Amino acid sequence: MTITAAQVNELRNKTGAGLMDCKKALTEAGGDLEKAIDFLRKKGAKVAELRAGRAAAEGVVVAKTNSENNKGVVVYLSCETDFVAKNEEFVKLATAIADAALAAGSKTTEDVLALSLGTATVKDAVQEKVSAIGELIAVSAFAALEGESLVAYNHMGNKIGVLVALNKGLNDTVAAIGRDVAMQIAAMNPLAVDAAGVSPEVLAREKSIAREKAAASGKPENILDKIAESAVNSYLKENTLLTQPFVKDGSKTVAQVLGAAESGLTVVAFSRIERGVAA
């Protein structure tokens, strides 16, 4: 049968796929629009499989909180090129996914992919983009947090998204310091809120490395453990949020700045997702 330009244009408007892809899909589907859409979705899945070995290190990260500021999500929608990452429709899709995940209270990436987004699921919407653009696109990382109050921060260009959960209700002071701390997390990438959040395996590795370095430098055996413990303490100070020097005032720690802003204020949890780093 003959496929008309009007049919091709309608399918293209519905899916965003290329002209030749739309014509081929309609031909395969005998002119049936819905079957052609299914064909494109299936093609998109195949494209994703073929491109699975390629790096999808670009994309956008979106961090958002709900209106009550007690729940938040971070979504990383990845793609292969910066050109696609800057596309308005791509950014809208990432934002729509974040909105849907926040509204649904999603906890995992699998939850997010199963959500409804318009007339399709998030998984289907992503596959349609794969078909339309021809790049590997995926929800590569997702995090959700709840707390007394949350602050979201999106680093310039949506390269990094951060959520900070604080132990006090949100007011102007808490919101302002929360944003400063979120920026600190984006810049310094701490391992955890405090030493209790660092795994024993990490601590053991750092202690072993420090001990071996001290031994190699000729330090006496009887002080190697003491040197190693000191090195671990320095490591924790530099790599856990509350003990890090505050980026805006290196004479104070993050914990000290939080306490000065409001008595008893502290961070109880955070999530940080960076473009190019999949979960």
Q: What is the pLDDT of residues 79-92, one digit of tens each?
A: 999 999 999 999 99
Q: Could you give the count of Cα atoms lying within 13 Å of 241 in the half-sphere of its Cβ?
A: 28
Query: Which of 40-44, 194-198, 254-258 shows the lowest per-residue confidence on average (mean pLDDT)?
Result: 40-44
Asked if the model's pLDDT at residue 29 lies above 60, the reply is yes
For Cα atoms 185, 260, 144, give the angle at the middle one, nearest 5 degrees: 35
Q: What is residue 218's three-state secondary structure?
A: coil
Per-residue model confidence (pLDDT) at position 231: 93
Residues 275/265/252/246 CA torsion (nearest 10 deg): 10
Average pLDDT on 107-136 reads 91
Query: Which of 13-22, 48-57, 205-214 shows the lowest per-residue confidence on average (mean pLDDT)?
Result: 48-57
Query: In the chain, what's the furthest Cα-to-Cα distance?
Result: 87
Per-residue model confidence (pLDDT) at position 20: 86
What is the reported pTM? 0.79
Residues linked to residue 160 through DSSP beta bridges, in sequence order: 274
pLDDT band, residue 202 (cuts 50/70/90): very high
Query: Which domains, and CATH codes, for the chain?
Result: 5-50 (1.10.8.10), 58-193+256-274 (3.30.479.20)
Asked if the model's pLDDT at residue 45 lies above 70, the reply is no
Q: How many helices (H) and strands (E) does the chain have?
A: 11, 10
CA 129, CA 226: separation in Å to the nearest integer?
A: 56
